[in-house]
């Protein structure tokens, strides 16, 4: 039976380190890091995530601003809001919750965020810096995944890592980090996805398997090399007929029989994503007082 990787406990540890920097900013510079989150529309999951981001910011003594707009907001109004937040000196980090409604050009919105306030790490300048091996803001979920590994004493160095999923939010940046010449990297990384042939066979090569494919219980025991470390980025709500509650991309019961370590859902990657968002926001504030 696999050991659980306790994302909640590791996130708490990172929060306490972040709190030390927040105290230093307050004592030495008289400022509180400020995070603005923009929520468009009524997606229930997005509302929950945005609520958690605001609550965590306040709990750590940060300034929290949540800007909500209706689903039919005009693109120009959203662009003006982001520009206004770019110029607001008490705001060090800006996050626009995704997905946005179809009539909004998501790229246009992300490209408008000041790259020095882009704590989500999604602006092309920040993606470019990450790809060039000089990360400024690492996107929060990939950052959480690599911190989970390192702090669980699982070094990616020299390992076969398979990343299931190729999204800009998770798959691509996490693969980039894990193959980089940094403490998070030095792995041999394969990126695969729903169109890959022989998925189970490719996944069975992995010493470390990272699933971000966005399908309920997709990864079963036959995808896992005995003793592999499994990181489950997925989070899905189960219907009443399915037994209710939450599950990940990984069929936890069967996979935990074969893996050596595994993240639970909830309580694995989820809390880490928020902890790393706080870390990035505090880093943005630290850079703002040091003149970037």
Find the shortest distance in angstroms from Cβ 114 to ligand GUN. Answer: 15
- Residue 149 is a binding residue for ligand GUN (CB under 6 A): no
Find the shortest distance in angstroms from Cβ 44 to ligand GUN. Answer: 13
* Residue from 2, 73, 95, 187 binding ligand GUN (CB under 6 A): 95
CA distance 187 to 163: 11
- Which residues are within 8 A (CB) of 211 and not within 5 positions of it... i.e. 6 or more apart? 164, 165, 218, 219, 230, 231, 232, 233, 234, 248, 249, 250
C-alpha 39, offset from chain centre: 17
Q: Which of 118, 120, 249, 251 is catalytic?
A: 120
CA distance 219 to 224: 8
- Residue 127 is a binding residue for ligand GUN (CB under 6 A): no
Which of 79, 55, 65, 67 has its CA nearest to residue 34?
A: 65
- Residue 81 is a binding residue for ligand GUN (CB under 6 A): no
Q: Which two tokens stand for residue 53?
A: 């981001």
Phi, psi (degrees; rounded to nearest 5) at 188: -95, 115
Position closest to ligand GUN via CB: 98
* Residue from 14, 109, 140, 278 binding ligand GUN (CB under 6 A): 140
97 is catalytic: yes
* Residue from 22, 169, 203, 235 binding ligand GUN (CB under 6 A): 169
- Residue 177 is a binding residue for ligand GUN (CB under 6 A): no
- Residue 212 is a binding residue for ligand GUN (CB under 6 A): no
Residue whose token pair is 């009539």:
103
Q: How many CB atoms lie within 10 A of CB 254?
A: 16
Q: Taking contact as CB under 6 A, which single stretch among the options 78-86, 90-98, 194-202, 249-257 is the one that binds ligand GUN?
A: 90-98
Query: Which residues are known to be catalytic?
Result: 53, 97, 120
Binding residues (CB under 6 A) for ligand GUN: these are 95-98, 120, 140-141, 169
């Amino acid at each position: 039976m696999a050991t659980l990787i306790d994302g909640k406990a590791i996130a708490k540890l990172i929060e306490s380190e972040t709190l030390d920097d927040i105290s230093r900013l307050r004592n030495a510079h008289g400022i509180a890091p400020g995070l603005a989150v923009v929520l468009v529309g009524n997606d229930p999951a997005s509302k929950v995530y945005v609520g958690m981001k605001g609550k965590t910011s306040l709990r750590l003594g940060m300034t929290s601003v949540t800007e909500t707009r209706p689903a039919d907001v005009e693109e120009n109004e959203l662009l003006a809001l982001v520009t206004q937040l770019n110029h607001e000196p008490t705001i060090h980090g800006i996050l626009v919750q995704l997905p946005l409604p179809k009539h909004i050009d998501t790229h246009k919105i992300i490209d408008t965020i000041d790259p020095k306030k882009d704590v989500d790490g999604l602006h092309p300048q920040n993606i470019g810096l990450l790809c060039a091996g000089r990360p400024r803001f690492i996107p929060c979920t990939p950052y959480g995944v690599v911190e989970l590994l390192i702090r669980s004493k699982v070094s990616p160095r020299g390992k076969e890592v398979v990343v299931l999923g190729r999204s800009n939010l998770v798959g691509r940046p996490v693969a980039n980090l894990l193959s980089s010449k940094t403490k998070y990297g030095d792995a041999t990384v394969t990126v695969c996805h729903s169109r890959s042939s022989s998925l189970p066979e490719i996944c069975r090569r992995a010493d470390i398997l990272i699933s971000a494919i966005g399908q309920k219980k997709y990864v079963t025991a036959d995808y896992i090399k005995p003793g592999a470390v499994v990181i489950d980025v997925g989070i899905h709500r189960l219907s009443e007929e399915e037994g209710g509650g939450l599950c990940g991309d990984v069929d936890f019961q069967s996979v935990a029989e074969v893996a050596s370590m595994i993240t639970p859902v909830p309580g694995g990657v989820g809390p880490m994503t928020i902890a790393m968002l706080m870390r990035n926001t505090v880093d943005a504030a630290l850079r703002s007082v040091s003149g970037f």
